[in-house]
Structure 1
Amino acid sequence: MKSLKTILLATTLTAGFGIFMGTTDAHADSLYTVKSGDTLSTISHQFSGDNSMIDLIAKDNSISNINMIFEGDQLTIRTAEEAAQKPVQQEVAQQEVAAAPVQEEAQVQTAPVEQAEAAPAATTSSAKEWIAQKESSGSYDATNGKYIGRYQLDASYLNGDYSQANQERVADSYVAGRYGSWEAAQAFWMANGWY
């Protein structure tokens, strides 16, 4: 009888320990394989619903140019909970060193980003520039797999001519044909993380 109790107790403890250890894996990092058409922005949207993880993904994966990732790359993505906890821990440490200046700096940096995301475009040129900044930080030389330039157009659309003038012309034509206006393209981008 004593050996039966010992076996039952050991089994119960082992099962409990297994369940306890299994719950820690739920917070493990995710491994993501870059697909054709992915950008750090679209990957961030998949994991957090917004662009808040772009810099974190770049830092965690030693990506020096956030506009350049390649199909097949394996990226480590922190879970949303881990990503949220780390900045909070860093902010608390910074506040202990110099509370008032850090808080003011954080407010200055976050307020313009929130306004830019929420505010609709006032003119075609501002909507166009907004998309260029989101897609390539405004660089005509940015590449991401088969996507080229300031507006991250498919290389086949540019027909080998990657000049600034051709990128502008093809982007205008693409947006007019697909969305009708840069404002509509911006609205689509804001809803989907791409255009």
Structure 2
Amino acid sequence: MKPTFIFSRFIYLRSVELIRTKYNVSILVIAISVMGLLSIFRNVNLPTTASTVVTVKSGDSLQNLSDKYNVFISVLEKDNHKYSNDDLLVGDRLLIPNQHKNEAKPSTKPQTSKKSKTSHPKVDPQAAWNRANADAKAWISFHESTDSYTATNGQYYGRYQLDRNYLNGDFSPSNQERVAEHYVSDRYGSWVNAKAHWVTHNWY
């Protein structure tokens, strides 16, 4: 038997004897108490990598602490033995382990698919109406004379086959355009309406 072991055993027994004498307890009670303490410390897992100590404040929860320090809730629970918000008390000191700070914490928010928005160009109603009138005018011109300012059909003359009396002897293209605009405006209100009449009656 080594001398160091004998010396250590002597110190231990001497300490036990002093405790028994001072507090008037039996050696059995002292032994049970020591064994209980050893059992408690043996089961406590103290994280060795924690570098941040956080003091719990009013309103703190495991969820917001997890979000704030970018650690898993399960890590906070395990390393601090706090398994619900009821276990958190104002003033408690929690350890934040380093090895979890830089790990990607899984998102708790559901992934939502973004629907692509189809952009529709804005249409100017007046511009669309003007274009429709221009198209209707061109349609009538083609069907009346195939766009000829000199086309003749009895008393009707020119690109829009107007009555010669309307032209007053002036058969120039500019006068034909002016008279045609005036005629359609007075009779139909628009070239679109004039075309609709032409399609139904084969004349306008």
Q: What interval of TM-score do these two structures reach, taking the shorter chain for normalisation?
A: 0.3 to 0.5
Task: Considering Cα pairs closer than 8 Å and 6+ residues apart, tell me whether 1 or 2 has the greater RCO.
Answer: 1
Q: Between Structure 1 and Structure 2, whose CA radius of gyration is higher?
A: 2
User: Which has more helix, going by share of residues?
Assistant: 1
With the length of structure 1 as denominator, give the TM-score of the two structures: 0.38
